[in-house]
């Protein structure tokens, strides 16, 4: 239960950054060694002049249970509404979206509390002419969210879709260490955020899932 609560707190921190693009309610960045270690670069806008619009609903782009690693269960599969979107996202023309969450509990020898892994997928659709602005704001926001308990490190570009960025996350909450990864990509008029968190979060797994999702954007 304790790990579930801590993971929920950690997910909320990331949720405020990525839900429907980005929000204005992320944790404040504070001057620290953490902030100095993160890159200050912002993503370069992608060309959109030749991009096409997506033709299927975000729910059809979501991962299915058969596409995630064994042992995960589908915790949530929910269309996103305008009430879920931030004012910034609405100003960017947010149109529709979908959220999928998969959870896995891993027994720990000698403990009644299992380790928990969580995979989150956020899908949002914007007017194609606004995608550049959305991805730039999102990349900047996650880097600026670093503080004393939330460390963010930008990783090399995973080269997914028209544009992508990856980040490594580390939380120090209530003396518990939680690690995680984010992959953020855009294809056509679709912006997706993939988050994997837990004591056994694995970047290669998340990268594979993001590539599967990229192929589903039609």
Within-domain flag for 110: yes
Q: What pLDDT sits at residue 116?
A: 82
Supply the DSSP string of the chain, one letter for each residue.
Answer: -HHHHHHHHHHHHHHHHHTTS--S-SPPP-SSHHHHHS----PPPPP-TT-----S-HHHHS--GGGSPTT-EEEEEEEE-TTTS-HHHHHTT--EEEEEEEEEEE--TT-SS-EEEEEEEEEEE--GGGHHHHHHHHHHHHHHT--SSEEEEEE-----SSEEEEEEEEEEETTEEEEEEEEEEEETTEEEEEEEEETT--HHHHHHHHHHHHHT--
For residue 14, give the CATH number of its domain: 3.40.1000.70
Within-domain flag for 14: yes
pLDDT one-digit tens code per residue, 45-71: 555 444 589 999 999 999 999 999 999
pLDDT above 70 covers a percentage of the chain that reads: 72
Within-domain flag for 30: no
pLDDT band at 39 (very low <50, low <70, confident <90, very high): very low
Within-domain flag for 178: yes
What is the distance between the alpha carbons of residues 26 and 18, in angstroms, rounded to a whole number?
Answer: 10
pLDDT band at 124 (very low <50, low <70, confident <90, very high): very high
pLDDT one-digit tens code per residue, 133-166: 888 888 788 888 888 788 889 999 999 999 899 9
Within-domain flag for 34: no
* Residues 118, 101 contacting (CB under 8 angstroms): yes
Q: What pLDDT sits at residue 217?
A: 96
Query: Residue 2: pLDDT above 80?
Result: no
Within-domain flag for 17: yes
Please compute, for residue 211, the number of CA atoms within 13 A of its CA located in the half-sphere on the CB side.
Answer: 9
Within-domain flag for 207: yes
Q: How many domains does the chain have?
A: 1
Within-domain flag for 87: yes
Give the range of the structural domain holding residue 193, as residue numbers without chain letter. 2-25+51-215
pLDDT band at 88 (very low <50, low <70, confident <90, very high): confident
Q: What pLDDT sits at residue 11?
A: 56
Q: Averaged over 185-206, what is the pLDDT?
A: 91
pLDDT band at 81 (very low <50, low <70, confident <90, very high): very high
């Amino acid at each position: 239960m304790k790990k579930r609560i801590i993971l929920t707190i950690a997910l909320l921190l990331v949720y405020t950054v990525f839900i429907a693009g980005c929000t204005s309610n992320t944790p404040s960045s504070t001057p620290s060694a953490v902030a100095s270690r993160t890159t200050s670069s912002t993503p370069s806008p992608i060309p959109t002049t030749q991009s096409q619009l997506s033709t299927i609903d975000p729910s059809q782009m979501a991962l299915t249970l058969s596409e995630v690693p064994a042992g995960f269960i589908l915790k949530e599969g929910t269309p996103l509404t305008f009430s879920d979107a931030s004012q910034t996202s609405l100003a960017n023309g947010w149109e529709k979206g979908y959220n999928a969450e998969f959870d896995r509990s891993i027994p720990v020898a000698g403990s009644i509390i299992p380790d928990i892994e969580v995979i989150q997928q956020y899908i949002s659709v914007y007017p194609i002419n606004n995608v550049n602005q959305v991805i730039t704001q999102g990349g900047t926001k996650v880097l600026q969210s670093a503080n004393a308990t939330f460390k963010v490190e930008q990783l090399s570009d995973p080269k997914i879709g028209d544009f992508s960025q990856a980040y490594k996350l580390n939380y120090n909450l209530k003396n518990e260490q939680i690690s995680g990864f984010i992959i953020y990509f855009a294809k056509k008029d679709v912006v997706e955020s993939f988050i994997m968190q837990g004591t056994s979060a694995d970047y290669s797994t998340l990268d594979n899932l993001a590539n599967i999702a990229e192929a589903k954007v039609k």
